[in-house]
Structure 1
Amino acid sequence: MRGISAKSLQEVLAAVGAVKGSTGDLGAELFNVVSTLDREPALRRVLTDPSTEAQAKAGLAKQVFGQQVSADALTVVQAAVSGRWASGRDLTDGLETAGVTALVAAADAAGELDAVETELFEVGRFVRSDAELRQVVSDRALPAAAKGELLGNLLGGKVTATTLALASQAAAARTGSFERVLSAFGETAAARRSRLLAEVRVAYELDDTEKNRLAAALGTKYGRDVHLNIVIDPSVIGGISVSVAGEVVDGSMSTRLEVARRRLAG
């Protein structure tokens, strides 16, 4: 977001940061508010109308959501509608970001942030590996609640509650495909500790010493801590392929052989 929407988003995130105690439930409540505003464009237009006083919009938000959400969630929603947004869509996108931020903060407080980052990556791989499932969760014509229930049946008990909540929200595909949104949520989780995400492809499982050495080397290269998402890929053959910050560092033997083959072929 840019301009007035970016400033309003900062104020909304500040309201999330001011909440005391666990923010896990807050995230779920904000996602529900987003769902309501997506279904009610007329309400969204009123709540983002620049000609209406902020106090009046905050009052309307209380009338609509006051009995549906907690006091903390209502405070965040009122902070959102009191701001100025370039479009009604920016308001709902901002509240979704606030929900993600709240869930990530709760996971961090619970010591689960590392697990969430890894699980989000693995969920993305799991969905990509099943063409039918990928089509279902990416179908915007299907109700988000139904897709969330499907993911709950598939992932329940296998991932943290935070990961499941984020994956279910990604299935709404509000701002892009399921995979794109899930990846963005993973970046938000990494940004909680100012980290970068790296996809590492190797032919065999790395031990802790190798992982630590690689993470340290990448951290030195990029000037930030790096979270490794390891993919075991037999086609790598030897060496390693790393994708981080939009850059691919491919030192795999398979790539070297392919380069050599092309050179020989002229």
Structure 2
Amino acid sequence: MYAASREALAEARTVLTAELDAASDGTSAAAGAGSDLFGVVSVLDGQRPLRAALADASAASDARRALAGRLFDGKIGAAAAAALQAAVAQNWSSARDLTDSLVLLGREALLRAAQDQDQLGTVEDELFRLGRIIAGDPALEQALSDRSKPAEASGSLLSTLLYGKVTAITEALAVQAVGRLKGAAPASVFGELSALAATRRDKEVAHVRSSTELSDDQISRLTSRLEGIYGKSVTVHVEVDRELLSGLIVRVGDEVIDGSGTGRLASLRKSLR
């Protein structure tokens, strides 16, 4: 995302935050704003000329705001409407940046609602585990990624699978995400959502692949070590990968610490060449 779009996103985020801070029921307002912004994006994704018009930097900002008002006033809540008005008044590098940023604001609003309900950690964990489950089930991953079917079909399938098994916010985030994959793997998108939740908790995320199950004590000691290394709180997500032979691989952001048996074998092979 280029500088113009980053600045536009920051302005829309500031407006949305102020609206939610001022709401009498912040939790309900945040959840509603998230759902409303997802609804706006669904409309824009289906109408290319419309999203192009709302992001057209050559048109006057008042004209873009008026167009958004005619389309959505009375159909979405005050917080989402204010954020949308602020967004379309800005200059975006592309129409896609506008819609992607509205998605991000919707996600952030829902995560704020989860935080207000003391569910943010649960949502983070559910999204991570959902990504791992889908990554381990090729048939399900294919069904959710099938672009020959309407996007709504993937969302409906996932909603049916998740109903009653995860928090409402996790379900809303996940269903919206699979309906808008745009070529991305579902597991990677859920990983991004989980990381976004961790960021809101001001935590680093450590993705750990281990050759065996780790005990609670081992996870606790690993967490402490990583927090000492990175100087901030760390959330550790562990998945078992028997192909590692032994040890584990830890990924934090772009940094990878490979202490696995396969990693050591690979290093040995390189040294023998």
Q: Same fold by TM (over 0.5)? A: yes
Cα distance between partner residues in 1 of 2:63 and 2:213: 58
> How big is the shift at 1:175?
7.0
Partner amino acid, structure 2, of 1:231: E
Given the alignment, which residue of 199, 207, 226 partners 2:207? 199
Answer yes or no: is 1:250 the counterpart of 2:258. Answer: yes
Instruction: Give the aligned partner of residue 3 of structure 2.
Output: 3
> How big is the shift at 1:60?
1.8
Instruction: Give the aligned partner of residue 13 of structure 1.
Output: 13
Instruction: Give the aligned partner of residue 218 of structure 2.
Output: 210
Answer yes or no: is 1:233 the counterpart of 2:241. Answer: yes
Given the alignment, which residue of 151, 156, 172 partners 2:163? 156
Cα distance between partner residues in 2 of 1:141 and 1:10: 35
Deviations 1:65-86 (A, max 9, x none): 1132111111111111111101
Contact 2:145 2:186 in 1 (8 A): yes
> How big is the shift at 1:55?
2.4
- Taking structure 1 as the reference length, what is the TM-score of the superposition? 0.90
Contact 2:32 2:77 in 1 (8 A): no
Contact 1:198 1:243 in 2 (8 A): yes
Q: How does 1:39-118 map to 2 (within 5 A)?
A: 39-118=46-125
Cα distance between partner residues in 2 of 1:134 and 1:234: 21
> How big is the shift at 1:89?
1.1
Gaps of 5+ in 1: none
Partner amino acid, structure 2, of 1:142: K
Deviations 1:133-164 (A, max 9, x none): 21121123322222111001112222222221
Cα distance between partner residues in 2 of 1:13 and 1:96: 12
Deviations 1:89-114 (A, max 9, x none): 11101101111111111111211111
Instruction: Give the aligned partner of residue 189 of structure 1.
Output: 197
Deviations 1:204-229 (A, max 9, x none): 44343332221121122123321111
Deviations 1:149-198 (A, max 9, x none): 10011122222222211211221214733333322222221211232211
3-12 vs 178-187, which moves further: 178-187
The 1:234–1:2 alpha-carbon spacing in structure 2 relative to 1, beyond 3 Å, is same
Partner amino acid, structure 1, of 2:172: A
Contact 1:175 1:181 in 2 (8 A): no
Partner amino acid, structure 2, of 1:101: E
The 1:257–1:90 alpha-carbon spacing in structure 2 relative to 1, beyond 3 Å, is closer
Contact 1:215 1:227 in 2 (8 A): yes
Determine helix, strand or coil for the equivalent of 1:228: strand
175-184 vs 122-131, which moves further: 175-184
Determine helix, strand or coil for the equivalent of 2:236: strand
> How big is the shift at 1:50?
1.8
Q: Percent identity?
A: 39
Partner amino acid, structure 1, of 2:162: L
Count of matched residue positions in the alignment of Structure 1 and Structure 2: 265
Answer yes or no: is 1:168 the counterpart of 2:169. Answer: no
Cα distance between partner residues in 1 of 2:237 and 2:176: 22
